Amino acid sequence: MNQITFTRRLLLATAAATLASSAMAQAAWPSKPITFIVPFPPGGPTDVVSRIVGKELADRLGQPVIVENKAGASGSIAAAQVKRAAPDGHTLMMLATPTLFAPFFYKNAGYDTTKDFTAISMVYDLPIAMVVNPEKLPGITTLPQLIEKARAEKGALNYTTSGAGSFGHMSMELLKDMGKFDMQHVAYRGGVPAITDTIGGQVPVMYADLVAALPHIKSGKLLAVAVGSPERVAAIPDVKTIAEQGIDGFAAVSLGALMGPKGMKPEVVARLNKEVKEILAMPSVQERILGAGAIAKYLPADALQKSLEVDYAKWGKVVKDKGMVAE
């Protein structure tokens, strides 16, 4: 064997070994159980959706997916933990909108949601609806009518949300500015008591998670006058968006997204994104997610990252301009 032939064979063998090693490295993931960090207590939409998607992922990836609830400070405790984790694809987080904005409310949150994580896939959204108690506000069936009523009341008309600093609160404050009207915020600790008192008439208006309010809309106890999403929502197709009713450019949608530590390998992100896309396309999964109080919604990693950056800047400005604080 001459030197040239030997060298050629050596190079080919080296290249083959490199490719084999790379393939083995990719195939090795996941090499152990995957942990889903959930920033909220068990039982809520983020937790339940995480368990639904986690179970399907476990079946597809051949490794258990363990859901770990790490509640506190709007999810910033969980996010800080994920930020510190190894970017090997074995520690992930189901990000929800309150955690996206927590750095604006908690000075020691310890992370920037748009820079310190790897975006993987959008998983669900929570459309928000403006609802009124029809007995307390008879004749109010559209957003322009509600705004006219608010102007006539000169800021004395009350509205509620699930809490000070909640996404509903932020959305309503932006809407008030864009619509040039005022209402008084009555903060509750959670969506359930807020909806209960809106039905009871203690507060006549609520900016509410649509899925939570939907049974009461269908029963007639609450009336939806607008939805905050850019498009109409299939569950209440006759209710116009806020933008359709004269507030051009208004859009507000709460989201849930699968994220990981910064620096994850692109091939791991691509695999996770592919699996989540297929999982969310399953009618049975869509039904279960709806039952958890959310709507399945897929976005690829790059589109998700762009959406997070836009929302972070947009709603961060609202928080700062209004001097808002969380409960």
pLDDT reported for residue 28 = 86
pLDDT tens-place string over residues 228-271: 999 999 889 999 999 999 999 999 989 999 999 999 999 999 99
- Does any domain span residue 7? no
pLDDT reported for residue 20 = 44
pLDDT reported for residue 14 = 57
pLDDT reported for residue 190 = 83
pLDDT reported for residue 12 = 56
Cis, bond preceding 103 (omega within 30 deg of 0): no
Shared-domain flag, residues 59 and 75: yes
Shared-domain flag, residues 90 and 191: no
**Residue 219 belongs to domain spanning:** 127-245
pLDDT reported for residue 6 = 52
What is the reported pTM? 0.82
pLDDT tens-place string over residues 195-241: 999 999 999 999 998 888 999 999 999 999 999 999 999 889 999 99
Question: Is it the case that residue 9 has pLDDT exceeding 70?
Answer: no
- Does any domain span residue 1? no
Shared-domain flag, residues 214 and 276: no
d(CA 137, CA 85): 51
Q: Domain end: 221, 245, 269, which one?
A: 245
Shared-domain flag, residues 133 and 210: yes
**Is the Cβ–Cβ distance between 221 and 199 less than 8 Å?**
yes
Shared-domain flag, residues 241 and 131: yes
pLDDT tens-place string over residues 275-289: 999 999 999 999 999
Number of domains the chain contains: 2
- Does any domain span residue 26? no
Shared-domain flag, residues 121 and 133: no
- Does any domain span residue 84? yes
Shared-domain flag, residues 149 and 112: no
- What is the mean predicted confidence (pLDDT) over 110-120? 94
More confident residue, 190 or 222: 222
Shared-domain flag, residues 142 and 200: yes
pLDDT reported for residue 325 = 79
d(CA 161, CA 27): 47
Shared-domain flag, residues 227 and 162: yes
pLDDT tens-place string over residues 296-317: 999 999 999 999 999 999 999 9
Shared-domain flag, residues 116 and 184: no
- Does any domain span residue 2? no
Shared-domain flag, residues 118 and 263: yes
Find the length of the chain: 327
CATH number at residue 207: 3.40.190.10
Collect contacts of 198-202 with beta carbons under 8 A, ≥24 apart: 198/131, 198/133, 198/160, 198/222, 199/133, 201/133, 201/135, 201/136
Reported confidence tier of residue 22, pLDDT bands at 50, 70, 90: very low
Q: Domain end: 219, 245, 271, which one?
A: 245
Question: Is it the case that residue 45 has pLDDT exceeding 80?
Answer: yes
Shared-domain flag, residues 144 and 217: yes
Q: Domain end: 205, 220, 245, which one?
A: 245
More confident residue, 263 or 17: 263
d(CA 119, CA 300): 9
Question: Is it the case that residue 27 has pLDDT exceeding 90?
Answer: no
- Does any domain span residue 292? yes
List 187's β-bridge partners, or say none: 161
- Does any domain span residue 226? yes
CATH number at residue 290: 3.40.190.150
- Does any domain span residue 113? yes
Question: Is it the case that residue 21 has pLDDT exceeding 60?
Answer: no
